[in-house]
Amino acid sequence: MSQPVRIGLIGAGRIGASHAAVLARRVPEAHLTAVVDPRPGAADLIAGPLGARALSSVGDVLADPAIDAVVISAASVAHRDLIVAAATAGKHVFCEKPAGMSLAEIDEARTAAAAAGVVFQVGFNRRFAADFAAAHDLIAGGRIGEVQLIRSLTRDPGTGPADPGAVPQWTIFTQTLIHDFDTLNWLNPGAHAVDVLATADALIAPDHRDRGHLDTAVVVIRYSNGAIATAEASFAAAYGYDVRGEVFGSNGMVTMGEGATTSMRLHDLAGRAAFTARSDTDLLVDSYTGELTEFCRAVTEKRPAAVTGDDAYAAFAIAQACIDSVTTGARAAVTR
Ligand SMILES: NC(=O)c1ccc[n+]([C@@H]2O[C@H](COP(=O)([O-])OP(=O)(O)OC[C@H]3O[C@@H](n4cnc5c(N)ncnc54)[C@H](O)[C@@H]3O)[C@@H](O)[C@H]2O)c1
């Protein structure tokens, strides 16, 4: 194997801690070199046990010639600036979704990466879950015929946000359903989203409805090949983290996402039960491993990554159309 890709991780929060551990323990193609976060102590907490350096400023990471690439897991509002700065410094970039907070920001990010000639991958990890990947390959190979109906859903575990007032407006589209929008685009190869009709409400925290909080949503998307897709999200699934997909075609159907942590079933007086995952980092750890492995291989093999800035743009274009649709109450066109 060639030399591992030396990585600086930017943003040591919840998903940053998971990505750091995955890079250090599950991806032989990576070497977690440094961790940076402006929050006092956050980088040390993660870097120390994993044998990486904790750095105090992003500038130190970008100026370090012993770092080949960055994994950006900072807050979404910082993504565009971090991508542009890292690419301009010649670092390959993996960035969590969304790659920016608007289509203009994402365009700026992908343009900077292209101009610098660096690998730029966006964190649509669902593509690397074994069941979703297998479904994609069958669909792309024509096994289920013409794609006609597609479904994708995300339900966050638990009872909902502790402080719904602190959730930025439109989060359900730009941060949560963005995964489903990318999944739908990817599971309908060769087609593009044309328009959307979105309905959203505050069913979990109705007291926050008047302030624009939305915690439950359903979106209908029409595609250029005639396929009709639905994406659905909730911030509070009592039974655990729930990610599923389904593609129905002229010759059959594929389904994805079981939610159970293992195939073990408990059979007792109450019936038959499966244990469900309580977090994304638990249920989808193999998909995070897969996407970070793909990033390192793309860097080493000097080729584009499997998920690009164009994919980030296409998914956000659906999120933006959802915002337009909820605002007007009408169907909204998806920008290309
Ligand atoms: N792909 C997925 O399944 C998935 C899951 C969770 C979160 N995410 C994404 O990951 C990102 C982080 O989410 P989180 O849940 O870990 O949030 P978090 O709030 O737990 O952590 C964010 C961290 O970023 C740091 N930060 C903020 N601005 C920074 C900057 N300019 N430079 C460096 N660090 C900075 C904060 O101090 C904080 O430690 C978000 O963009 C989110 O959308 C993706």
Contacts of 283 (CB under 8 A, 6+ apart): 240, 241, 243, 259, 261, 277
Q: How far is the CA of 229 from the centre of ligand 1 (A)?
A: 29
Name the 3-class secondary structure at 53: strand
For residues 68 and 93, what is the distance between their CA atoms, to the nearest angstrom?
9
What pLDDT is stored for residue 1 in this prediction? Answer: 64
Best residue among 18, 35, 73 to mutate for probing ligand 1's pocket (most ligand atoms within 8 Å of CB) is: 73
For residues 318 and 174, what is the distance between their CA atoms, to the nearest angstrom?
9
The pair of three-digit structure tokens given for residue 132, joined into one six-digit string: 């979703």
Confidence grade of residue 325 (pLDDT, cut at 50, 70, 90): very high
Whether 318 shows a pLDDT value over 90: the answer reads yes
Q: How far is the CA of 175 from the centre of ligand 1 (A)?
A: 11
Nearest to 170 by CA among 233, 107, 111, 253: 233
For residues 129 and 96, what is the distance between their CA atoms, to the nearest angstrom?
16
**Per-residue model confidence as pLDDT tens digits over 179-219:** 999 999 999 999 999 999 999 999 999 999 999 999 999 99
How many CA atoms lie within 13 Å of 173's alpha carbon, on the beta-carbon side? 28
Whether 237 shows a pLDDT value over 90: the answer reads yes
The pair of three-digit structure tokens given for residue 184, joined into one six-digit string: 């739908």
Nearest to 123 by CA among 284, 336, 6, 335: 284
Whether 7 shows a pLDDT value over 90: the answer reads yes
Q: Please give the mean pLDDT across all residues of the chain.
A: 97
Which atom of ligand 1 has the smallest separation from the CA of 280?
A: 3
- What number is the average pLDDT over the span 98-108? 98
What pLDDT is stored for residue 264 in this prediction? Answer: 94
What pLDDT is stored for residue 236 in this prediction? Answer: 98
Percent residues over pLDDT 90 in the chain: 96
Domains within the chain, CATH numbers bracketed: 5-118 (3.40.50.720), 127-283+315-333 (3.30.360.10)
**Per-residue model confidence as pLDDT tens digits over 208-231:** 999 999 999 999 999 999 999 999
Whether 335 shows a pLDDT value over 80: the answer reads yes
pTM for the model stands at 0.97
What pLDDT is stored for residue 13 in this prediction? Answer: 97
- What number is the average pLDDT over the span 269-278? 94
Best residue among 96, 122, 155 to mutate for probing ligand 1's pocket (most ligand atoms within 8 Å of CB) is: 96
Which residue, by CA, sits nearest to atom 26 of ligand 1? 74
